[in-house]
Amino acid sequence: MTTDLIVETSGAVGRLRLNRPKALHALNAGMCQAILDALEDWRGDASIRAVLIDHAEGRGFCAGGDIRLLSESGAGDGAAARAFFHTEYRMNHRLFTYAKPIVAVMDGITMGGGVGVALPCAKRIATENTRLAMPETGIGLFPDVGAGWYLSRLPGRIGQYLALTGHRLNGAECCALGLATHYIPSADLDEAKRHILADPTALDAILSDLSVPAPEAEILAHRGDIDRLFAADTLEDIAAALAADGGAWARQQQELLATKSPQAMKVSLRLLRDGAEMASFADEMVQEYAVATRVVQRHDFLEGVRAVIVDKDHAPRWNPATPDAVTDHVIDQIFAPLPPAEAWTPA
């Protein structure tokens, strides 16, 4: 059992505590497998009535996944990256389909892989510290771990906006968009956990009693602009709409998108378009796995990790460098189904 994840039971509650504080609790393969194993152990245990997921110490719920492993593997044969994605996505799917209620406490940074842990859970607590984002286009990747399912189901074009820009949502915005189910001040979290551990059968009442009205969601002030300027399913048309607008907010988005990988942004738009039509979460994960195993070995991901995480010069040299140079043929290749023997399957 990995020490990066604390697995314990307290009365009728199974507890999963992310425990990599120096890495903001970013997921590695061992943590994903340990979560899978614990959920399987508790699935048939009638004494366990609910599951609680939080982080053990330090700030942040979960900053993402093991990007360095993915990059190093992607630069080689990609086998370790494929193994990581396969296990992580099985964990995401198990959380999504779990019959017992799961509570995720999104106190602090909740990004990338952390979103994949939190959003499948039935109860999702946001606080004033919550910062939720899928910033993958900035490193040549794309919002995965089920984001094609979740983001495509947000109101209007907010999902497309979040996928392309990597915008960070605060706790109030998470509540307004339905990404969080409850808003509880961080000072009250220990009390909430104590009550849940004492009587998980009263989960709904506990969360309702301790929740407070969330502050105003700032993103909604830009809802009209988001729906209008991000209305297209093609990156070129979105870029043209931003350029033609002339407003300060549109210019800010235009400048932001200019820093992102054109390939990753096109992959993200395609993912959300397809995700909106997926019949099941498992179907979504099958597609995301095929896409992830290819993108992780392409130039932009390796270059993005170099620029943002390794060298930290924040000057990635994307290739192709412009949206029009990322052809439909390339995107179709990335999204092609894997052979059955290589495809993702649920646990």
CATH architecture, domain 1-347? Alpha-Beta Complex (3.90)
Report strand pairing: 13-18 vs 50-55. Answer: parallel
Burial class (CB in 10 A: 0-12, 13-18, 19+), 144: buried
* Catalytic residue of the set 14, 108, 113, 304: 113
pLDDT at 217 exceeding the cut of 70: yes
Count CB neighbours of 99 within 10 A: 6
pLDDT at 58 exceeding the cut of 90: no
The answer to whether 144 is a known catalytic residue is yes
pLDDT digits (tens, 9 = 90+) for 325-335: 999 999 999 99
* pLDDT score recorded for residue 293: 97
pLDDT digits (tens, 9 = 90+) for 105-137: 999 999 999 999 999 999 999 999 999 999 999
Count CB neighbours of 55 within 10 A: 25
The answer to whether 37 is a known catalytic residue is no
* Catalytic residue of the set 14, 65, 116, 138: 65
- Give the C-alpha separation, 111 to 115, whole Å: 5
Count the helix, strand and coil residues of the chain and give each as a percent rounded to the nearest 5: 55, 10, 35
* pLDDT score recorded for residue 1: 53
The answer to whether 112 is a known catalytic residue is no
Q: What does the pLDDT average to over 264-283?
A: 98
* pLDDT score recorded for residue 57: 83
Q: Which residue has tokens 């390796």? A: 302
Q: Are 171 and 129 in contact (CB under 8 A)?
A: yes
- Give the C-alpha separation, 309 to 303, whole Å: 10
Q: What does the pLDDT average to over 305-312?
A: 95
Q: What does the pLDDT average to over 220-245?
A: 97
* Catalytic residue of the set 54, 107, 136, 288: 136
Residue type, 80: A
* pLDDT score recorded for residue 59: 82
- Give the C-alpha separation, 74 to 298, whole Å: 8
- Give the C-alpha separation, 44 to 289, whole Å: 28
pLDDT at 2 exceeding the cut of 90: no
pLDDT at 310 exceeding the cut of 70: yes
pLDDT digits (tens, 9 = 90+) for 61-103: 999 999 999 999 999 999 999 999 999 999 999 999 999 999 9
Residues 297, 34, 166, 330: is their CA dihedral positive or negative?
positive
- Give the C-alpha separation, 28 to 216, whole Å: 35
Q: What does the pLDDT average to over 169-185?
A: 98
* Catalytic residue of the set 144, 284, 288, 300: 144
DSSP-based three-state secondary structure for 202: helix
Residues 6+ apart with CB under 8 A from 27: 18, 62, 64, 65, 66, 88, 113, 114, 117
Q: Where are the domains of the chain?
A: 1-347
Q: What does the pLDDT average to over 35-39?
A: 98
* pLDDT score recorded for residue 75: 95
Report strand pairing: 131-133 vs 182-183. Answer: unpaired
Which among 151, 175, 146 has a CA at the least distance from the CA of 163? 151
Q: What does the pLDDT average to over 197-205?
A: 97
Give the predicted TM-score (pTM) of the model: 0.96
